[in-house]
């Protein structure tokens, strides 16, 4: 018997940037994905919910993580929390330690560097701060 998730066809997820949410591309075809821009919605759950679901389904169907680039001007606490939930879902794939999260940040932005370092401590995936 197949589960509902196995029957679902996983398409690329593309969300255009707004003033308070980043551009998102999660590629089911290539696995090369990114979130880019500012992420500061007051309750980020609504925004990140489909992204988290997509990541969980991707890992479930493909059994691998993504090559993902994250580049934020601003990332508020609510976004940090749900972004982590998405990354944590990818981190559950068996070979996650061989995948790289590229954390692109301005070298002057101490807070964003700290957030990247925090992810290094929390994830099995390799977080590269660039």
Residues that bind other proteins (CB under 8 A): 19-20, 40-43, 45, 73-74, 76-78, 80-81, 84-85, 88, 106, 108-112, 114, 118, 121-122
**Minimal distance, residue 42 CB to other proteins, in Å:** 5
The runs of H, that is alpha helices, within 8-109 are: 45-62, 77-91
**Minimal distance, residue 27 CB to other proteins, in Å:** 24
Cβ atoms of 91 and 123 within 8 Å: the answer is yes
**Minimal distance, residue 87 CB to other proteins, in Å:** 10
Beta carbon nearer to other proteins, 16 or 45: 45
**Minimal distance, residue 11 CB to other proteins, in Å:** 25
β-bridge partners, 127: 101
Beta carbon nearer to other proteins, 25 or 129: 129
Q: What are phi and psi of 63, to 5 degrees?
A: 70, 15
Cβ atoms of 27 and 12 within 8 Å: the answer is yes
Residue 15 DSSP label:
E
């Amino acid at each position: 018997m197949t589960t509902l998730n196995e029957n679902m066809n996983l398409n690329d997820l593309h969300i255009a940037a707004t003033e308070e949410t980043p551009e998102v591309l999660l590629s089911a075809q290539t696995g090369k994905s990114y979130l880019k821009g500012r992420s500061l919605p007051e309750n980020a759950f609504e925004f990140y919910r489909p992204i988290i679901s997509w990541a969980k389904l991707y890992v479930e169907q493909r059994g691998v993580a993504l090559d993902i680039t994250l580049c934020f001007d601003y990332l508020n606490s609510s976004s940090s929390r749900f972004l982590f939930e998405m990354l944590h879902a990818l981190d559950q794939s068996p070979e996650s330690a061989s995948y790289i999260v590229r954390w692109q940040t301005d070298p002057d932005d101490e807070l964003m560097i700290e957030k990247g370092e925090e992810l290094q401590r929390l994830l099995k995936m390799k977080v590269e701060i660039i």
